[in-house]
Structures are given as structure tokens and as C-alpha cells.
Structure 1
Amino acid sequence: VSDQFGSPTSAADLAETILEIASRIMNKYEIAYGTYHYCGEGITSWHGFAEKIIETAKQYSSLTTTHVKPLTTGDYPTKAKRPAFSALDCSLIKQKFGIVSKVWQKSLEEVIGRIFSCRK
């Protein structure tokens, strides 16, 4: 949908972040309890995310899709209500652990690259 915005997050980036924090805690470098948010850097709509997936995948294959039709939330009803803006504030994880979110487009390129390299 084109009217819901958030910050796409790679599972690999999230796993690396969790492992980094766990390592610091286990080695007693950091013990900072609390609730921390982590997500990819930057904001896009679901529509923008889909377009970037296609654009990136075209570097590895001969996709013929050239356009993703933008829909509004009203055009795509679901049982679960979704917020129009769901990006997270990651300032605390950066402040306490020095962890900086990776730009979501870069992470997406890495994920798609891995997917296509496995297909060879």
C-alpha cells in the first residue's frame, strides 16, 4: 500500500544487532536494561518497498515487471488494523550501544544478492 510508512528491516541485520548486544552483556561491557528499538534506517511505504525489490531484482534477472500499482489502505482491507506510520525510534540503542541502523535499501540489496547467488 502506498499510504502506510515504516522502516524495512533485514532479519540478518536484526540478528547481528541482537548478537552484538548479547556479546557485550555476556562480556560485561554493557549492561543497560530497557526496551530498545531497531529497524532499518530510512522510511518508505509498502509500495516503495515493493518497487525497490523489483528494481534490485532486475540487476540479477530478466524480470519483466516494470511497475507496481499503488494501492491505498482502503483498497486493500485486512482484518488487522495497520498504522499509517510504524517507523521506530532507534536513538536509545544508538546512544547506549553505539549501534547504528543500516540503510534499508543497502540491506535489501544484500538480501536479494544472497537469494540470487544461491540460485546459481
Structure 2
Amino acid sequence: MRVLVTGCNGQVGHCLVNQLHNNVELLAVDREELDITSRDAVFTLVSEFKPDFIINAAAHTAVDKAEEEVDLSYAVNCDGPKYLAEAANNVGGTVLHISTDYVFPGNKQGVYSEEDKTGPLGVYGKSKLAGELALAGANERHIILRTAWVFGEHGNNFVKTMLRLGKDREALNIVGDQYGGPTYAGDIAQALIAIMNKASADDDSSLYGVYHFSGAPHVSWYEFAQEIFQQAETKQLLKAPTLTSITTDMYPTPAVRPENSKMNCDKIQHNFGIEPSDWQAALENIKGYMA
């Protein structure tokens, strides 16, 4: 099986490469090797490599910068996925694409299902939703995986930020009125590979579509930080700072964040047997996030 992974140096892409490299004919590229915003570059590479699957882990994820970098956000998050889907369609390939909880407005009571109405609040979410629609329109053989609050040992994320700040500060204010499911990058990679393997074996068109995959249990950023520092202190890596829960309006940012990013993961469990990410277990290697 031939697999093309884009965004191979990102949090999820890095994990995909580690988990795939011995099991498939793998071509892993980052922006230096492939500019996904160039239709010609995408079509040239895909027509030469002829992947059975493209896993698109490339994205413009700087949520606040996206408010100013509108054209870049849409180029990477919308045009890129569309070109990959079109090119894959030309060679009979399937596209697996990572999307986000930011496609929702975050004002729902309870959890978001795949059928819930979207309504992104900022440029990042709008560009990611546009990418979902463009990709789906370009290739019926697609699986879109929406996830949230991604963290891992590689790359920049909330866990690493907390540990870095915790070394130097005795007290931290953390937003406590935004809720979601922290999701371990290694679990996202594992889920994508499981989806790919089943789709390859079954060739069942009913498997295509949109899926939610995130962590459990759902928590606030404040509660997430509490768990991070508890595990770090238990392993004697640092003395936990004093945490104070604050409201979103006390920590203004250029981009509006959804208050509720809780996602229902029943569909992916039913169709693929994939359980939500156990983010607490993923934090047991807390030392690995401090490198």
C-alpha cells in the first residue's frame, strides 16, 4: 500500500511517520518538499507516486494569526485539501483529512455530533470548514476526522506551554469556561491508520464521510492544566504552581474560541471500533513533554 503523508513535521504528521514507516510504502512530505497550495506541485507529485491513500496532516493552525493571515489560511486549509483530493481522485486514491472542533460555534448544550450545524467563529474555523467542503466535493473517497485540543511530545501545544511556564512561575491563570476533549497526537495517528486499514480492506463506500475523534473525559483548560501539573509533580519534575480559574473575557485573544468543543465520538466507535483518546494515560509520559 502506498501512502502519502503531508505535514509530516507537525504534531500528528510526526506520529504518523513513526507509526507507518515499516508497514507501507511511505512518502512523507512537509512544506519544503510539497507546497500543497500549488495545484501543479500537488498533481505532479501525486501522479508520480500514485498513492492509495493521502493523509493530509498539513494545516495553518495559528488561530490568532489566521485573523490577519486570511489568504494564507484559506490557501493552506481550503485550497490545499482540494488539490490533494482532486489529485487523489485522478489516481483512484482515498484522502484522509484532519479537521477541527473550530468548525462549530461552541454554543451548544451537550456534545457536538457530526450532523450538528456548523458555524465557525473565526478565520481558522471558516477556512477549515471550507476545506472540508472543497475536499468532499472533489473526491467521494474521503474521510474527514475532526479533532480538538491536540497535544504530544513533538511540536508546540498546551501541555508543553504549561510545563514551560510552570518552571518559572509560582502562579498561573487558566481559562476555566471553555470545555473540550484533549486529544493525544499519537492516538490521532493511530486512529487514522486504523481507518485507512479498514477502508483498504473493506472498500465500503458507506465508511466515507465525517467523523469526530477527541479525548475523554471532557474538561476545561483549567482542569486540563491541573492534571498536567499533578502528574508532573507526582513524578517530581517540578513544583506545581498555584492555578486560578479565569473566564474567557479575562484573557482576550484576537480570535474567538468556542466555549464548547465537546464532541460525540459514537460514530467512529461504531464504524471502526475506535475509542476516544485516553489523554490522561498519554500524560503518563509527562517527562517526554519537557524535552
Scaled to the shorter chain, the TM-score interval is 0.7 to 0.9
Which of 63, 66, 69 matches 2:238? 63
Report the CA distance between 1:101 and its aligned residue.
Answer: 1.1
User: 2:226 maps to which residue?
Assistant: 51
The answer to whether residue 268 in structure 2 is matched with residue 93 in structure 1 is yes
For the residue of structure 2 that corresponds to 1:35, the secondary structure is strand
Q: Is the 8 A contact 1:51 1:67 kept in 2?
A: no
Q: Is the 8 A contact 2:233 2:240 kept in 1?
A: no
Compare CA radii of gyration and give the structure with the larger one: 2
Report the CA distance between 1:115 and its aligned residue.
Answer: 3.8
Distance 1:92 1:15 in 2: 18
For the residue of structure 2 that corresponds to 1:64, the secondary structure is coil
User: 2:201 maps to which residue?
Assistant: 27
Q: Is the 8 A contact 2:182 2:279 kept in 1?
A: yes
Distance 1:99 1:62 in 2: 32
The answer to whether residue 76 in structure 2 is matched with residue 76 in structure 1 is no
User: 2:130 maps to which residue?
Assistant: none
User: 2:190 maps to which residue?
Assistant: 16
Q: Alpha-carbon deviations, 1:19-39, whole Å to 9, x = none?
A: 111111122375501100100
Distance 2:204 2:256 in 1: 37
CA RMSD, Structure 1 to Structure 2 (Å) = 1.9
Distance 2:261 2:281 in 1: 20
- Structure 2, unaligned runs of 5 or more: 1-174
The structure, 1 or 2, with the larger RCO (C-alpha pairs under 8 Å, 6+ apart) is 1
For the residue of structure 1 that corresponds to 2:259, the secondary structure is coil
- Structure 1, unaligned runs of 5 or more: none
For the residue of structure 2 that corresponds to 1:68, the secondary structure is strand
Residues 73 and 106 from structure 1, CA distance in 2 versus in 1: closer, same or farther, beyond 3 angstroms?
same
Q: Alpha-carbon deviations, 1:81-110, whole Å to 9, x = none?
A: 111110111111011111111332222224
Distance 2:269 2:237 in 1: 39
For the residue of structure 1 that corresponds to 2:217, the secondary structure is coil
Distance 1:102 1:48 in 2: 17
For the residue of structure 2 that corresponds to 1:82, the secondary structure is coil
Q: Which amino acid aligns with 1:51?
A: Q
Identity of aligned residues (%): 35
Q: Count residues in correspondence.
A: 116
The answer to whether residue 277 in structure 2 is matched with residue 106 in structure 1 is no
Distance 2:204 2:279 in 1: 26
Q: Is the 8 A contact 2:213 2:277 kept in 1?
A: no
Distance 1:91 1:70 in 2: 31
